Amino acid sequence: MPNSSKVYISQLKDSVGQVVTLSGWLYNSRASGKIQFLIIRDGTGLCQCIVEKGKVPDELFEQLKHLGRESSLTVTGTVRQEARSVGGFEMALTDAKVVSPAADYPITPKSHGVDFLLKNRHLHLRSQRQWCIGKIRHTVIDAIRRFFNDNGFILIDTPILTSMVGEDKQTLFEVDYFGSPLYLTQTGQLHVESAAMSFGKVYCFGPTFRAEKSKTRRHLTEFWMVEPEVAFIDLDGLLELAENFVSFIADQVLQNNRGELETLGADLEALEKIKPPFYRLTYADAGDILAGEKAKKFLADQLEDLKKQKQQIENRIAELEEEQKGQIKQWKRDKNATELIELRSELNEVETRIENNPKHAKLAAEFEWGKDLGGSDETIISQMHDKPIFVTHYPKEAKAFYMKTDRDNEKVVLNFDLLAPAGFGEIIGGSVREDDYDLLAARITEFGLKVEDYSWYLDLRKYGSVPHGGFGLGVERTVAWLTGERHIRQCIPFPRMMDRVYI
RNA sequence: UCCCCGAUAGCUCAACUGGUAGAGCGAGCGGCUGUUAACCGCUAGGUUGUAGGUUCGAGUCCUACUCGGGGAGCCA
């Protein structure tokens, strides 16, 4: 290569008019006789490269014409502004060197099923959608650390191997630790509480493990969670912290990843709305909504809507199928076939929702004070709002032993869940912790746990106990919500699901 | 643990009430000087998840199993 400077695609705007060199992979290519369009990705973005016959050696022209997707290569050319090109810039090639040719790359620019993509996860990470999500996940994690670091919180690394049972032993992964059982942590909370008594404001951030047998789009067995814990704070203080925190994350993503959000088709307008204050409901309020006319009407309207949608899709399918039977041009026939495939998959989804709607309505109508809110209940509440919703003061019996009883109403605890709007559901769970030694010891016993096993945890209530609390935010759920990705398994590079680990 | 749905070409999907498997994409070859998941022509590509059953005949019906998807419970 001649003396051209090496640049990244993200910096092309500073190189207009100059001859530069890019290194990357062939994302896609189109040939049109004497001109070729190569889309190259280098990790920072996409760039269209123009290869004109006569401007490069004939041999190279032919080589590039037959180069497979995801071949690695280095290209040199002149950068120019070009509105028609992805990213707004393109490169007129004068030279290129294939580093390593690739053939038969399994992932094509057309649609693929989830199973296929997960089996090819190591390659799928290269595709646009995963790349955008990965960049946003990076911003989310960076925002999480920055928010706490800039607000006087100290990072505490809690153990991954633990003997403590935070919530329920059945949902823990057991590990053989030199002959005796130990568990993969499902929360750093208990440990982080002790650190809060030293530093005041702390947080832990790491992977967490749940052996829940949940096969849904919002579950992973291994996921990342950040858990702040603050001494001398009450429920209102926690809610305020949580809404500022979540708003900051959303704002950072909007500032740094607008392009990625657009590529993903995220709802930017909805994201702009994520600003304090969030909605505040008590568990009792939520119950009234669920069991009342409002939710009933909401779900009935939704069902009507879905049925209308279904009818429309079916009509269109019938129309197209009729057309396919007649005498039509081949290209029209192919186009219809593509549309039919899309419509059928849409229809499938709408039908599932129609099927689930009455079930969810029934569960909501059967709301009974004392039970925890179900996943579908949270979805309904979430769908009824356009901003995140706090649900507070759950019944004591539905929640963990460490949550502080409301001194004004002994039946409920000072806890909260934060539900993301538009049907995404829970992204945060948190509470004020029981800080009274005797009450906590009694709760431990009530839960069938041994007080001896929690002696160090109880010590925190023995030596200078203070009101304190915290919460846990799920990174993947947050990323899924912000990006509009329907399944959280797309929001972690290498997802672990129940009975299912690919690479 | 329970409920619903599915498995057909490398991928995404068709095949009306049982009649002998077809598109698009991808791959290969050719055409086209501005393409945007380009387009056009040709070629190759299948023991219809496995095992059994009903039938003159099974991708289609029945049974069991395997694998996958969605949801409930539980949760971030």
**Distance (Å) from CA A115 to C1' B49?**
15
**Distance (Å) from CA A112 to C1' B66?**
23
Number of Cβ within 10 Å of residue A309's Cβ equals 16
**Distance (Å) from CA A168 to C1' B43?**
61
Nearest nucleotide to A213 by CA–C1' distance?
B74
Report DSSP state, residue A188.
S
Nearest nucleotide to A478 by CA–C1' distance?
B76
Non-local (6+) Cβ contacts of A16 within 8 A are A79, A80, A81, A89
Determine phi and psi for A186, rounding to 5 degrees.
-115, 0
Entry pTM = 0.93
**Distance (Å) from CA A101 to C1' B51?**
44
**Distance (Å) from CA A350 to C1' B15?**
24
Nearest nucleotide to A170 by CA–C1' distance?
B74
**Distance (Å) from CA A333 to C1' B14?**
13
Residue nearest the C1' of B31 (CA based): A33
Q: How many helices (H) and strands (E) does chain A have?
A: 15, 21
**Distance (Å) from CA A205 to C1' B42?**
58
ipTM, 2 dp:
0.88
**Distance (Å) from CA A342 to C1' B12?**
10
- CA-nearest of A379, A415, A359, A388 to A218 is A379
Residue nearest the C1' of B11 (CA based): A112
- For A277-324, strand residue ranges (E) read 279-282
d(CA A434, CA A407): 11
Q: Is A131 in a helix, a strand, or coil?
A: helix
Nearest nucleotide to A398 by CA–C1' distance?
B74
The bases of strand B with some atom under 7 A from any protein CB are 1-2, 4, 10-14, 23-29, 31-41, 68-76
Nearest nucleotide to A171 by CA–C1' distance?
B74
Nearest nucleotide to A103 by CA–C1' distance?
B27
d(CA A284, CA A274): 25
How far apart, in Å, do the first and last CA atoms of chain A sit?
38
- Consecutive 10-residue averages of pLDDT for chain A (503 residues): 80 92 93 90 94 90 91 94 88 93 86 85 91 96 98 96 69 88 91 97 95 85 96 97 98 96 91 96 93 89 87 80 68 73 80 84 87 88 93 92 94 95 90 96 90 92 97 95 90 86 76
Residue nearest the C1' of B5 (CA based): A352
**Distance (Å) from CA A155 to C1' B32?**
61
Q: What pLDDT score was predicted for residue A417? A: 95
Determine phi and psi for A41, rounding to 5 degrees.
-120, 145
Q: What pLDDT score was predicted for residue A1? A: 47
- Here the tokens at position A452 are 């001896």
